[in-house]
Amino acid sequence: MNFIHRRQQWSVGHGFFHTATIDIERYLYRYIYDCGAQQGRVIEREIDRYEKNVDLEGSGKEIDMLVISHFHADHIKGIPELLKRFKIKHLVIPYLSEEAKSLVLAYLAAIGVEEWIVFSSLILTPEVWLTDLGSDAQLVQISAENGNSSDEASIPRAGNGLSIGIGISNQSTPSAIFLDGVPIWRFKFHVEDNSQYVAAIVKEIATELALNEAQLKACLRDNKWINANWETLKKCFTSIGTAKQNATNLSMFSGPIKDIYVARATFQPNERNLGCRCCMRDGIGWLGTGDANLKTSKAYTAFESSFNNYLSQIDTVTIPHHGSKHDYNAKIGDLCIRYVITSNHLIDPKDKHPASEVLVNLRSKGAAIDIVTDDPSTTQFDSFFGFLNCKNYVTVR
């Protein structure tokens, strides 16, 4: 079964925009993980570049799945523009408790009234938000709970396409792309359970504003109150600290299910030559982590447990929160030998994104690190081609 898998980390700087295509036999599937940047003009520029690439493929403007890791502006700012230009079939987001919704709404208001106006409906009524933007995407919310799901996803009615569940699914629910009734590509999710942390932060915000939690919940849904108090919320978040702004995070593994023989081509525009090597690999899986806070042993253990069956299949991991030391766990550097960091800086003069100790730790383990900034020459592109279901193979050297 012939396949081509392409994936690209776009140059949005401090933000995230990752796209991929899975071309198997006569079917082409596309997915996107996050679409945002600190600067709106940068993400629009990269969406323009992506749209031109999609047109060259000549198969329409359909995206099978758009995944949102979390609701920070630098990861979602470009999504309304993306929805205008493409037909999104599935929108996958982390499930938010009522306390988590309050924290996200407070964060959006704190960074500006405009952000709150654009995205508050996504937090409160995502189905309505999609409809208002002219999208008929099927909404899937992934919760941090674990269920008793089987190892394989359910076969779609037609036997082909993406099987990902409906409504609210738990993180152990398997998702896959099927071809003629056979699962060929797997997606696995992990959601941070920050419920105790979120409740404490929401209470702290309410106290800072001299409100009780019920009053804060109502105020954060009131346009007039937001307009009058967003600067106070901004000061509140500054005093609390930036490390306490994320309500949750949705990490995602993507990789083929069956045995593969694969050749790989890796290209960055600033390289003179296209490097290509043929090899039999344990896997070509990609693991996106968004802004996952994996610093503590408990958080990392839960993260590792979710992806335990797929760790040997991982080729590339994105470093959480743009290489921040506050979210990094040294065990991440043991997962594979190739990592991606998205940041405004190749070397951050403030030693934050990325932090030097993160880079030193990865390099001490022999890891290859691609730092993707807002410079288009740093765009990271991988292309894999070969065969699925390949038990017997011959390597020509």
Q: Per-residue pLDDT tens for 150-193?
A: 667 888 888 889 999 889 999 998 899 998 888 889 999 999 98
Q: What angle do CA 250, 254, 258 make, to 5 degrees?
A: 145
Q: Is the pLDDT of residue 33 over 70?
A: yes
Q: What is the mean pLDDT of residues 18-22?
A: 95
Output phi, psi for 52, to 5 deg.
Answer: -65, -40
- The full length of the chain comes to 397
Quickly state the pLDDT bin for 396 (edges 50, 70, 90). Answer: very low
Q: What's the confidence (pLDDT) of residue 337?
A: 85
Strand 338-342 relative to strand 368-372, pairing: parallel
User: Helix (H, G, I), strand (E, B), or coil: what is residue 387?
Assistant: strand
Quickly state the pLDDT bin for 348 (edges 50, 70, 90). Answer: very high
Distance CA 211, CA 215 (A): 6
Residue from 2, 39, 42, 50 nearest 22 by CA = 2
pTM of the model: 0.93
Q: Mean pLDDT over all residues of the chain?
A: 88
Least confident of 164-168, 332-336, 392-396: 392-396
The amino acid at residue 345 is: H
Rg of the chain over Cα atoms, rounded to whole angstroms, equals: 21
Output phi, psi for 82, to 5 deg.
Answer: -65, -40
Residue 346: both structure tokens together? 């190749």
The CA-to-CA distance between both ends of the chain, in Å, stands at: 23
Q: Is the pLDDT of residue 394 over 70?
A: no
Domain boundaries, the chain: 2-95+144-194+256-293+377-388
Strand 15-24 relative to strand 2-9, pairing: antiparallel
Distance CA 186, CA 257 (A): 6
Residue from 243, 65, 249, 301 nearest 144 by CA = 249
Residue 175: both structure tokens together? 């998702």
pLDDT tens per residue, range 206-253 = 998 999 999 999 999 999 999 999 999 998 888 876 666 788 999 999
